[in-house]
Structure 1
Amino acid sequence: MYGIGAVVTAEALAQEATAPVDTAVRGARAGTVGRIALRVLTGIGVLWGAITLSFLGVRLAPGDTVDVLLGEQPRTPEVEAAIRAEWGLDSPAIVQYFRYLWHVAQGDFGRSYVLQRPVAEVIGSQAGPTLALTGAALVVALVFAVVVATTTARRRRARSVANAVELALVSTPAFWLGIVLLSLFSFQLKIFPVAANKGLAALVLPALALGLSLGAVISQVLRDGLERALDEPFAVTVRSWSVSETQLRVRHGLRHAALPAVTLTGWLVGGLLGGAVIIEEVFGRPGLGRVTVEAVLAQDLPVVLAVAILSAFVYVVISTAVDLLYLVLDPRLRRDSAGGGQISGGAS
């Protein structure tokens, strides 16, 4: 009996010991799920706000939509009434708003006034080149930031040179940098094609023009974080392992220094899509840039609305991905989520 009782008591003690651990794990998971749910709800709110503001902007814009739809056709009351009925412009503004909101929720952005094609088809046919340019520019920015930050942190002369280069890049508009790169490497040195729509060679200069200024901003924040990380106790411990300075910076320091840079990247990447619009015009590339410019000039409002909503959607997706990446880079945030809203304090 004594032996059985001892076994039961040991099992009970083991269960009591593991209970707090299980509770903590469940709490961390619940906190993570709650954080994700909050980000999704926030993203839906941002998209709704973007749709609403875009719709109001179109409604308040000068001019009459019927004039755009008529083109050079003679305007008569009968023709005008028929066009308003066909495009739903004869309904009250509030009815048009909720109808548009419902259609957008189903992925229907209407028809282009000028091209007479579904807007989703127009955007979809041109989104590929723009997304490729945006992705390539992001790669350029991140590579530039990591290389510059890791090679210049806590090195006074290199840091001074990097600061000057970063300031010059940040101060230079992307379209002007694009013109300089195009003039130097295409017209003068003839290394890259002047105007090309396909191939990696046609993507290099636009990606550099769009990504270097972004990389300059990120590298400043990343370098400051890396310099602080190299003074923390973990760096002393890693140095005692006889690892090289490069390994310390790249394998250990960047992980501790990345959080502020990740946040900044999430905020700035949303602007890459808008910058791509201008860069595509400079380099004569196909994509949403040319579509947007032509739509604005022709007052093709459904296309302009769709591009604005797409930009907001990209921003929401990226900001949500950055928030989830935070949880991967810093497991303490998962514990803070379970601890009841101490995330802000822990992250700062």
Structure 2
Amino acid sequence: MTYVLRRLGQAAVVLLLAYTVAYVLLAALPGDAVVARFASPELGLSPEQLSVIREAYGFDRPLWERYLESVFAFVRGDFGYSVQTGASVSTLLATALPSSLVLAAWGLGAAILLAVGIAVTATFGPRVIRRGFRSLPPLFVSIPVFFVGIVLIQVFSFRLGLIPVINATPVQALILPVATLAIPLSAPLAQVLIRSIDEVRAQPFVTVVRARGASTSWLLWRNVARNAVLPALTMAGLIFGELVGGAVVTESVFGRAGVGQLTAQAVAARDAPVLLAVVVFSAFAFVIINLLVDLAYPVLDPRLRGARR
């Protein structure tokens, strides 16, 4: 409990620093969201009307005053209102979050399965196949995400006609975005798994278990995998934290209304309240997921339970 409370205190400091840095950087940009949103000639607003709008959003007050007010508002759960749409930022996040969570969960699950398959084949497969599979992670990590998405759409939707782009069912609409996420995300997981499996296989206890007549599958799943999974678990936690904050490129390519697309629209409109809320939410997701990963370590490795006691 002391460890958890200490980590929660560190999380509060991280969230405050993330919010402060984002707030200062957004304030340092020339102009503001009101100018970007309402100063277009099509609207025909006068300078006096723009001043009234800026006053309504508080942009006419000193920076430190706005910062303190917004920090206390965030603590109360009040994220303000979007300059672009006028809607509550909390409502926008609550609407976009479920789609991003579903995509993140399925994308991470597919990436883990693909990474495990690559790592196991690259370690225990025939020699020629092992070399080929060990070269897959560098290849996957070097391919841009938007390129993967465009290629999958061209092949499976336009050429083969297997997955419709228009009027697709919820399941069909998930297949290509999940594959787009899984291919590049599996690369770091596979690299960490391959390296960890190689290191664990070189340990003396593996030689002893093999000398007792253990089969390759027994050695892999009962002895090697449990010790090699810890570094990959950390990597999976980081990846999932990133995905919860929104897969900006993937959601933009496939037109999914998630946190990533909300972020892209807020950046284009310089919608500071939405951007600040997304930054804080992403930092919160990273902190909580990493805390859960740290708490899972002693469950997977009894040696850490003994060290903790």
Name the TM-score, length of structure 1 as normaliser: 0.80
Q: Aligned pair in 2 of structure 1 residues 132, 124: CA closer, same or farther (>3 Å)?
A: same
Q: Please state whether the residue corresponding to 1:311 is helix, strand or coil.
A: helix
Which moved further from structure 2: 44-53 or 272-281? 272-281
Please tell me whether residue 116 in structure 1 is matched to residue 86 in structure 2.
yes
CA contact (8 A) 1:174 1:210 kept: yes
CA RMSD of aligned residues (A): 2.2
Contact between 1:35 and 1:337, CA under 8 Å: does it hold in 2? no
Q: For 2:161 and 2:70, locate their aligned partners in 1 and report how far apart those are by CA, in whole Å.
A: 49
Task: Tell me which residue corresponds to 1:208.
Answer: 179
Amino acid at match of 2:182: G
Partner of 1:22: none
Equivalent of residue 222 in structure 2, options 231, 239, 251: 251
**Using the alignment, how far apart are the partners of 2:298 and 2:206 within structure 1?**
22
Contact 2:200 2:228 survives alignment (8 Å): yes
| Match of residue 301, structure 1, among 237, 257, 272 | 272
Query: Residues 39-75 of structure 1: CA distance to partner in whole angstroms, max 9, x if unpaired?
Result: 2222212111111111112211111344246452523
Between the aligned partners of 1:237 and 1:170, the Cα distance in structure 2 is 36
Residue type at the aligned position of 2:71: L
Q: Work out the percentage of aligned pairs sharing the same amino acid.
A: 35
Report Cα offsets for 1:242-289 as digits up to 9, x if no partner: 554223212331111111212222333333346611111111222123
For 2:170, what is the secondary structure of its paired residue? coil
* Unaligned ranges ≥5, structure 2: none
1:56 aligns with 2:24: yes
- CA distance in 2: counterparts of 1:65 and 1:142, whole angstroms: 40
Instruction: Assess if the C-alpha contact under 8 Å between 1:266 and 1:318 holds in 2.
Output: yes
SS of structure 2 residue aligned to 1:183? helix
Give 1:125's match in structure 2, choosing from 88, 95, 104: 95
Q: Does 1:153 align with 2:123?
A: yes
Q: Is the 8 A contact 2:37 2:269 kept in 1?
A: no
**1:195–1:283 contact (8 Å) kept in structure 2:** no
Seen in structure 2, the aligned counterparts of structure 1 residues 250 and 190 have a Cα distance that, compared at 3 Å, is: farther
Change (3 A) 1:65 1:286: closer
TM-score, normalised by the number of residues in structure 2: 0.90
* Pairing partner for 1:164 from 113, 135, 140: 135
2:15 pairs with 1:47: yes
Q: Secondary structure at the match of 2:135?
A: helix
Residue 93 (structure 2) pairs with residue 103 (structure 1): no
Distance 1:48 1:290, change over 3 A: same
Code of the residue aligned with 1:161 in structure 2: it is G
Pairing 1:223-238 to 2, within 5 Å after superposition:
223-238=194-209
1:139 correspondence with 2:112: no
CA distance in 1, matches of 2:10, 2:110: 30
The structure with the larger Rg is 1
Query: Aligned partners of 1:58, 1:108: CA distance in 2, in Å?
Result: 19
1:64 to 1:283, Cα distance in 2 relative to 1, 3 A:
closer
**Deviation at residue 241 of structure 1 after TM alignment:** 6.3
Distance 2:213 2:76 in 1: 59
